[in-house]
Amino acid sequence: MSAFLFAVTTVVATTLARTSGADNKSNDSDRSVEGTIRYDDSDRSVEGSIRYDLSVAHKACNYFGMDELVWNHISARHGSGWLITPGRRMWDAIEPSDIVSASDNCTADIIHSAVYKVRPDVKAIIHLHTKYAAAVCCIEGGFIPLTQDGSFFFNKVATHEWEGVSDDPGEGERIGKAVLSIPDCNILLMPNHGFCTFATSVKEAFIQAFYFEKACETQQNSTGKKLLVPPAEIMKKSERQNYSDVFRPGECEWDAVCDLIERKYGVGR
């Protein structure tokens, strides 16, 4: 009986997540400023689908080795604020109900609120310290897109120099300036620290982070060799193709990632 109930709950949660999706374009005009969370829980079904996607994204980071113990954050706008990683919990154990509407971590508030403030189009942010991206963060010149996977980020990388652990609210303004300096950027590279990807949905932000880490791995493994850097016009063409409706990050991958995570970890227990 309880197994039956669990199965029903899982199916309902999964269907909800996949039909209503987290790409919901909520009204941004009253979005929170400077980390002030005014949580709008008026739409339960939208909230449920965002929580589901956030839980899957945390568990998928754990599955693919992209997490770092209890640190780092994934967030998604909801209502006039955003939902975010609870902290103090391993990412394979983050369930939809564990996601919080305000972080107890000031670092996350500064970085995430800075990006949401200057980019109304951004609905989800992932901040990670994955190993290959962290290595690329420590190389002069930073990220070099070399492959088809890397073309997602061609001319889309903003940079914000490390200021130590982010606890100075003034840093938010500097992060905002960095993000605005590269039109349509989808990566904030944080030298000697890590990176953020930002996107129109949780699934898109996760898939971007996956490909960014992979592109950094390719770059790192090519270090010290003579690089074949593709012509800019080919990268530009590939970038546009990658962002067409069919290949938009997450479009083809996300349901399969959800299936994988349901099989390996389960969601919603």
Ligand X SMILES: *[C@@H]1O[C@H](CO)[C@@H](O)[C@H](O)[C@H]1NC(C)=O
**Interface with ligand X in residues 120-149 (CB under 6 A):** none
Residue 157 pairs in a beta bridge with 187
The alpha carbon dihedral of 46, 106, 190, 73 has a sign of negative
Residue number with the smallest Cβ distance to ligand X: 243
Nearer to ligand X, 101 or 107 (CB): 107
Nearer to ligand X, 192 or 269 (CB): 192
Instruction: Note whether 19 binds ligand X by CB under 6 A.
Output: no
CB of 137 to ligand X, least distance (A): 14
CB count in 10 Å sphere of residue 9: 13
CB of 244 to ligand X, least distance (A): 6
Identify the residue among 93, 243, 247, 253 touching ligand X (CB under 6 A): 243
CB of 266 to ligand X, least distance (A): 26
Nearer to ligand X, 5 or 233 (CB): 233
Structure tokens at 23: 């790409």
Distance between CA atoms of residues 120 and 155, nearest Å: 20
Identify the residue among 38, 177, 237, 240 touching ligand X (CB under 6 A): 240
Question: Rounded to whole angstroms, what are the CA distances from 74 to 161, 202, 205, 238, 253?
Answer: 21, 8, 9, 27, 18
Residues with Cβ within 8 Å of residue 96, at least 6 apart in sequence: 13, 48, 51, 52, 54, 55, 267, 268
Query: Residues in the site for ligand X, rule: CB under 6 A?
Result: 20, 24, 26-27, 29-30, 43, 46, 71-73, 79, 105-107, 165, 184, 217-218, 221, 240, 243
